[in-house]
Amino acid sequence: MQEHPSETSLGLSDPGQQRVLVAVMNNRRDFEIARTQGWYRIPVVTAPAQIAAEYLALYFTKAFGSEKWSIRYYAPIRRFRIVRRQDLLPQEPGHPRAQRQYYKIEIGPLQSLTQPIPSRRLRRITFIPTTLERLLHAQEINDLWEADVLKERLWAELQRRGIEAEREYLVQEGRVAYTLDFAVLCRQGNLGIECETRLGTASVTESDSFRSYFFDGKGWEILRFAASELEDNLVDCINRVIRYVEKHGGLASPPDAPDLYPCTLD
């Protein structure tokens, strides 16, 4: 496995802005396929809306022992193709999804990150679209997410004040799932934070009402910050978060629990 190339060796004027797709790697066999055969697969029906990228990065689950719950390798993407599963894995002709269509992502040699990117907490991770610059400089998973300027300001202030938060946090019950802009997990309850962008609207919609109903009684409180609040009174927004954390026993410690990551390969 090669070390990542320097930006100048890539021969690009601004290589840091190249797109990266972070995907889950949850077993050693498929990692060996990526390493020795140079491809990764994603079922077409569960593929992310934004799949086009110049690089693929791999997030390891608990199957990788001491390397678990981290991103350690990435590779340049050479091309995408749609093929049937049985064409990818002909040794499994009787697999129930043998005729399903998959994206075959053909990649170059795996490259080692200078430092692994860990996940501080166990959380649901499927795909993360990011940039090469973020990948090469991230300290942890949350540093990979891209957001508008107001969310970035809130994230920076949460970090500065020592409030551990998760970005793009998926909450799921049965077939219903919502992704919160931020989640702050406390000992006696959880806080979800949703941010209105400058182009957003402050009106309450039917979707907002159902969202509130979904979280009601599940140990969550939802704070919604308007764009004007984030822009003109960020300190007050942060203070509201701090009051919630103090009222609910402080920040929760990262749990020691089994993987929550859904299979994205089979």
Please indicate, yes or no, whether residues 10 and 69 belong to a single structural domain of this protein: yes
Please indicate, yes or no, whether residues 133 and 174 belong to a single structural domain of this protein: no
Rounded distance between C-alpha atoms, residue 259 and residue 187, angstroms: 20
Report pTM. 0.70
Please indicate, yes or no, whether residues 110 and 173 belong to a single structural domain of this protein: no
- CATH number of 44's domain: 3.10.590
For residue 190, pLDDT beyond 80: yes
Please indicate, yes or no, whether residues 140 and 53 belong to a single structural domain of this protein: yes
Fill in the DSSP letter of residue 188: T
Domain edge (last residue) among 94, 109, 144: 144
Please indicate, yes or no, whether residues 105 and 162 belong to a single structural domain of this protein: no
Q: Tokens 């992704």 appear where?
A: 179
The answer to whether 141 touches 120, Cβ cutoff 8 Å, is yes
Rounded distance between C-alpha atoms, residue 109 and residue 111, angstroms: 6
Strand pairing report for 166-173 and 19-25: unpaired
Residue of 169, 125, 194, 165 lying closest to 254 (CA atoms) = 165
pLDDT, tens only, 77-129: 999 999 999 999 999 989 999 999 999 999 999 999 999 999 877 666 778 99
Total domains present in the chain: 2
Please indicate, yes or no, whether residues 135 and 168 belong to a single structural domain of this protein: no
Please indicate, yes or no, whether residues 8 and 92 belong to a single structural domain of this protein: yes
pLDDT, tens only, 224-234: 999 889 989 99
Please indicate, yes or no, whether residues 10 and 112 belong to a single structural domain of this protein: yes
Q: In this predicted structure, which of 15-24, 121-130, 162-171, 235-244 has the lowest mean pLDDT?
A: 121-130
Give every CB contact of residue 98 below 8 A, 6+ residues apart in sequence: 84, 85, 86, 92
Backbone angles phi, psi at 75, to 5 degrees: -150, 150
For residue 30, pLDDT beyond 90: yes
Domain edge (last residue) among 86, 120, 144: 144
Burial class (CB in 10 A: 0-12, 13-18, 19+), 24: buried
Please indicate, yes or no, whether residues 138 and 25 belong to a single structural domain of this protein: yes
Rounded distance between C-alpha atoms, residue 62 and residue 26, angstroms: 7
Residue of 230, 231, 232 lying closest to 241 (CA atoms) = 230
DSSP string, 216-262: TTTTEEEEEE-HHHHHH-HHHHHHHHHHHHHHTTSBPPPP-----PP
Please indicate, yes or no, whether residues 77 and 38 belong to a single structural domain of this protein: yes
The residue segments making up the domain with residue 225 are 149-247
pLDDT, tens only, 139-163: 999 899 887 888 888 999 998 999 9
Give every CB contact of residue 14 below 8 A, 6+ residues apart in sequence: none
Cα dist from 156 to 78, 152, 164, 234, whole Å: 35, 6, 11, 11
The answer to whether 146 touches 130, Cβ cutoff 8 Å, is yes
Please indicate, yes or no, whether residues 41 and 134 belong to a single structural domain of this protein: yes
Average pLDDT over residues 164-181: 84
Angle, helices 149-160 vs 234-247, to 10°: value is 50
- CATH number of 156's domain: 3.40.960.10
